[in-house]
Amino acid sequence: MIPSRSELLKKAASTELWDIIVIGGGATGLGKALDAASRGYSTLLLEAHDFGKGTSSKSTKLIHGGVRYLRQGNVKMVMKALRERGRLLKNAPHIVGPLQFVVPCYKWWHKLWHGIGMKVYDALARSLGIAPSRWLDFDSTISLLPGITKAGLRGGVSYWDGQFDDARLLISLAQTTVLNRGIPLNYMKVVGLTTFNGRTTGVEAIDQESGTAYSFEGKVVINATGAFTDQIRHMDQPSAKGIMQAAQGIHLVLDASFLSEKTAVMVPGTDDGRVIFGVPWHGKVLLGTTDTPRDTVSLEPKALEEEIDYLLDHAGRYFSMKPRRSDVLSVYAGLRPLVKANKETKAISRDHTIEVSKTGLVTITGGKWTTYRQMGEDAVNRAEKVAGFARRKCLTRNMALFDGSTLRDEESQEPDLPLEGFPYSTADIERAIQFEWPVSLEDMMARRTRCLLLNAAHSKLASLKIAEQMARAFHWTDEKKQTEIEQYAELVSMYEVTKDV
Ligand SMILES: Cc1cc2nc3c(=O)[nH]c(=O)nc-3n(C[C@H](O)[C@H](O)[C@H](O)COP(=O)(O)OP(=O)(O)OC[C@H]3O[C@@H](n4cnc5c(N)ncnc54)[C@H](O)[C@@H]3O)c2cc1C
């Protein structure tokens, strides 16, 4: 039902001309690939590393309208995102669910102000609202957020938004693309664009597993490479002015006892006007985020010490148990692909941008996870024009995304043992091996399961067991298995917080 990577690769190599080629396997790219494939276009997606290795596995895991954009007066963007939130809750209930948030208030007028703001947020969601917001007294606030600072607390405001597992949604999107006859390939890096008569006609790519070079021809090519957007734009037009201003955001992962196992907190006004979330996720709490402009881009950006201190400092003010560096289970960083407009990244609009170059390369960037489907629809509409295709109807608005948990490998004899300390079983690993195209141990630890994010240090131990399972399935030699374990341990060190600085 779901072909292996080598079967997908074989099919890709034997196809002479694609309707649409998408570069980049994050939320933006996979959203485009599913939209194009479901309209009936022959579609190829190429991802340089693993699906979600970029920003799309390092988000706050919220499917939301964006309360802070409401504060900035960007009502249109909030409404668009709330509409997409409603669709995702319906189309992917196996991965996206409702989550209750509380804004703790320490001044009576904050309670009034945020309460009115949330009523506006409710109204903007119209019929797609999850549940109405409401004012909370002191006791209800504490019972929802047992870990919140009690001194001076006047109560709070409760509202609802969506939450998900970002890397799992990507796999679901890739599987749904395959079921619509599209081909998503991970570990296939685009190294050049081909042109004929001044038009983009395809891409040159290198399989990162085998080193084999491929040339794929397409009627239209879409650049969906997030923070790496300018690298592809420069392959197209070496003199093109850069449009990307990446902004780094980090998260600290803490034990749920610091806040709550069920309810999220939103702190709307930090010293520098940011919003901070504390979000329960797979039994832990994610605390984030920051917004630090970065001039260089990397697939594995590192959290800065000052970003870690900033989050710990704010958690210290709002949590009654003050977290220390030694309490951080994992830290992860991602790059927001923002389009340059202003040096203050906070002032840059988070809406998406579509650009078509002289050669017909379609670039789409910006936006957010929540709006990936709308971005897909807009970019494919534009690609149709560029390629001269007759307009076909977008089908993704009400399309159910594939639920991979329904897949079973009947031949597997693996016992369904839980992995110590993590919400995964050996059967989950087996299913991922069979149907989710992991290539390395890291893919399994960081994105098929979320062990790396949930507890970096403990994940090293679990990785030994998972490496055994992968080695058996993929016929790794002992040497290969050892290299995978060592490379994973090296990555883990980037997700661990130095205890004292
Ligand atoms: C800290 C943080 C928190 C966030 N939280 C939320 C949230 O809670 N909710 C929300 O809606 N949004 C959130 N966002 C925004 C959202 O995560 C991003 O907008 C989205 O993930 C960007 O996806 P993308 O596909 O454009 O980029 P990416 O996910 O970075 O994907 C780009 C891909 O292109 C690939 N690529 C690069 N070069 C090549 C090449 N030459 N060949 C082939 N492939 C290539 C990369 O390997 C990468 O996988 C957050 C962002 C950040 C930074």
Q: Please report the pLDDT score of residue 286 as a whole number.
A: 98
Token pair 């208030």 is found at 105
**Bridge partners of 21?**
44, 221
Q: Please report the pLDDT score of residue 410 as a whole number.
A: 60
The band of 81, judged by pLDDT with boundaries at 50, 70 and 90, is very high
Q: Please report the pLDDT score of residue 406 as a whole number.
A: 84
In CATH, the number for domain 407-495 is 1.10.8.870
Q: Please report the pLDDT score of residue 348 as a whole number.
A: 57
> In this predicted model, what pLDDT tens digit does every residue of 186-223 receive, in sequence order?
999 999 999 999 999 999 999 999 999 999 999 999 99
Q: Is the CB of 49 under 6 A from ligand 1?
A: yes
- Calpha distance 421→456 (Å, rounded): 12
The band of 235, judged by pLDDT with boundaries at 50, 70 and 90, is very high
Q: Is the CB of 367 under 6 A from ligand 1?
A: yes
Average pLDDT over residues 477-494: 98
Q: Are strands 276-281 and 43-46 parallel, antiparallel or unpaired?
A: unpaired
- Calpha distance 467→481 (Å, rounded): 7
Residue 326 in contact with residue 254, Cβ under 8 Å?
Answer: no
Q: Please report the pLDDT score of residue 412 as a whole number.
A: 58
- Provide DSSP, 149-216: --TT--EEEEEEEEE--HHHHHHHHHHHHHHTT-EEESSEEEEEEEEETTEEEEEEEEETTT--EEEE
Greatest CA separation for the chain: 70
Residue 221 in contact with residue 21, Cβ under 8 Å?
Answer: yes
- Calpha distance 313→69 (Å, rounded): 24
- Calpha distance 184→175 (Å, rounded): 9
Average pLDDT over residues 157-179: 98
Distance from the alpha carbon of residue 58 to the mean position of ligand 1, in angstroms: 8
The band of 501, judged by pLDDT with boundaries at 50, 70 and 90, is low
Burial zone of 476 (CB within 10 Å; 0-12 exposed, 13-18 middle, 19+ buried):
middle
Q: C-alpha distances in angstroms, 8 versus 77, 119, 403, 499?
A: 37, 48, 20, 45
Q: Which residues contact 62 (CB under 8 A, 6 or more apart)?
A: 99, 161, 162, 163, 164, 277, 279, 369, 370
Q: Is the pLDDT of residue 411 over 80?
A: no
Distance from the alpha carbon of residue 145 to the mean position of ligand 1, in angstroms: 31
Average pLDDT over residues 332-359: 80
Q: Is the pLDDT of residue 349 over 60?
A: no
Q: Is the pLDDT of residue 449 over 80?
A: yes
Provide the angle, in degrees to the nearest 10, between the axes of the packed helices 426-435 and 456-474: 50
Q: Is the CB of 203 under 6 A from ligand 1?
A: no
Q: Is the pLDDT of residue 56 over 90?
A: yes
- Calpha distance 43→222 (Å, rounded): 11
Provide the angle, in degrees to the nearest 10, between the axes of the packed helices 372-387 and 75-91: 100
- Calpha distance 63→280 (Å, rounded): 14
Q: Which atom of ligand 1 is nearest to the CA of 28?
A: 25
Q: Is the pLDDT of residue 300 over 60?
A: yes
Q: Are strands 264-267 and 97-105 parallel, antiparallel or unpaired?
A: parallel
**Cα Rg of the chain, angstroms:** 22
- Calpha distance 134→114 (Å, rounded): 10
Q: Which is nearest to 453 in space by CA: 297, 276, 226, 287?
A: 287
% residues pLDDT > 70 (the chain): 95
- Calpha distance 177→32 (Å, rounded): 10
Q: C-alpha distances in angstroms, 83 versus 79, 369, 404, 497?
A: 6, 13, 25, 38
Residue 244 in contact with residue 353, Cβ under 8 Å?
Answer: no
Distance from the alpha carbon of residue 55 to the mean position of ligand 1, in angstroms: 3
> In this predicted model, what pLDDT tens digit does every residue of 123-158 receive, in sequence order?
999 999 999 999 999 999 999 999 999 999 999 999
Average pLDDT over residues 265-274: 82
Average pLDDT over residues 409-418: 62
Provide the angle, in degrees to the nearest 10, between the axes of the packed helices 372-387 and 27-38: 60
Residue 280 in contact with residue 257, Cβ under 8 Å?
Answer: no
Find the length of the chain.
501
The band of 407, judged by pLDDT with boundaries at 50, 70 and 90, is confident
% residues pLDDT > 90 (the chain): 89
Average pLDDT over residues 408-418: 62
Q: Please report the pLDDT score of residue 69 as a whole number.
A: 83
Q: Is the CB of 46 under 6 A from ligand 1?
A: yes
Q: What average pLDDT is seen over the chain? A: 94
- Calpha distance 453→455 (Å, rounded): 6
Average pLDDT over residues 267-274: 79
Domain residue limits, the chain: 5-55+167-243+348-387, 96-164+245-340, 407-495
> In this predicted model, what pLDDT tens digit does every residue of 96-129 receive, in sequence order?
999 999 999 999 999 999 999 999 999 999 999 9
Q: Is the CB of 228 under 6 A from ligand 1?
A: yes
The answer as to CATH 3.40.50.720 being correct for domain 96-164+245-340 is no
Give the least confident one: 71-85, 254-268, 463-477.
71-85
345 or 120, higher pLDDT: 120
Say which CATH superfamily domain 5-55+167-243+348-387 falls into.
FAD/NAD(P)-binding domain (3.50.50.60)
Residue 347: other Cβ atoms inside 10 A: 9
Q: Please report the pLDDT score of residue 269 as a whole number.
A: 75
Distance from the alpha carbon of residue 143 to the mean position of ligand 1, in angstroms: 36
Q: Is the CB of 201 under 6 A from ligand 1?
A: no
Pair of tokens at residue 169: 């949604």
- Calpha distance 467→469 (Å, rounded): 5
- Calpha distance 293→447 (Å, rounded): 25
Q: Is the pLDDT of residue 467 over 70?
A: yes
Burial zone of 277 (CB within 10 Å; 0-12 exposed, 13-18 middle, 19+ buried):
buried
Q: Which is nearest to 183 in space by CA: 8, 352, 307?
A: 8
Q: Is the pLDDT of residue 256 over 80?
A: yes
Distance from the alpha carbon of residue 33 to the mean position of ligand 1, in angstroms: 15
